[in-house]
C-alpha cells in the first residue's frame, strides 16, 4: 500500500499535466480522489491551467460531492503515474472509477 505522501505527489503530477493540457483551458471544476485502502479523500480544484487547494481528509468526514470524482487504490494511482498501468484498461476493469457529469466526461475523454 502506498503512503498518503506518495499519493499526494502522484496526484500533483497527474493533475498538473491534465490541467496544463490545452483542452483543459477554461475548465473550472472541483475534484476528488478517494482511496478506500487508506480511508482518505483528496480534494482540490482544477482551474486556470493548474490544480489548487489539494488537501487530504478522512473519508468519513467528507460530505460534499466534487464535480469530478475518482476512486482507486493508492497502489493503482502510483502505478498510473509510473506508467505501469494505463487509465483506459484500469477504468474498463473497474480498478479506477470516474464519476462526472456528461459534459465533463466528454471533455475529460479528450484529456485522458
Q: Domain residue spans in the chain?
A: 4-111
Q: What pLDDT digit, counting tens, does each position of 20-63 carry?
A: 777 777 788 899 999 999 999 999 998 887 888 899 999 887 67
> For residue 72, is pLDDT > 90?
yes
Which of the four pLDDT bands, split at 50, 70 and 90, describes residue 13? Answer: confident
pLDDT of residue 110: 60
Contact 67, 101 (CB under 8 A): yes
Look up cell 502505478; give the residue: 79
Torsions phi, psi of 81, nearest 5? -70, -30
pLDDT of residue 106: 73
Which CATH fold topology does 4-111 show? Nonspecific Lipid-transfer Protein; Chain A (3.30.1050)
**Residue 54: CB atoms within 10 Å:** 15
- State the average pLDDT for the chain: 87
pLDDT of residue 9: 92
Amino acid at each position: 500500500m502506498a503512503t498518503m505522501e506518495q499519493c499526494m505527489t502522484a496526484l500533483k503530477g497527474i493533475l498538473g499535466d491534465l490541467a496544463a493540457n490545452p483542452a483543459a483551458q477554461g475548465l473550472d471544476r472541483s475534484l476528488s480522489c478517494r482511496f478506500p485502502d487508506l480511508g482518505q479523500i483528496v480534494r482540490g480544484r482544477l482551474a486556470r491551467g493548474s490544480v489548487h487547494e489539494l488537501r487530504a481528509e478522512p473519508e468519513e468526514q467528507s460530505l460534499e460531492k466534487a464535480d469530478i470524482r475518482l476512486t482507486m487504490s493508492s497502489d493503482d494511482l502510483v502505478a498510473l503515474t509510473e506508467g505501469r498501468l494505463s487509465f483506459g484498461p484500469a477504468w474498463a476493469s473497474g480498478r479506477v472509477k470516474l464519476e462526472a457529469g456528461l459534459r465533463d466526461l466528454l471533455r475529460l475523454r479528450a484529456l485522458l
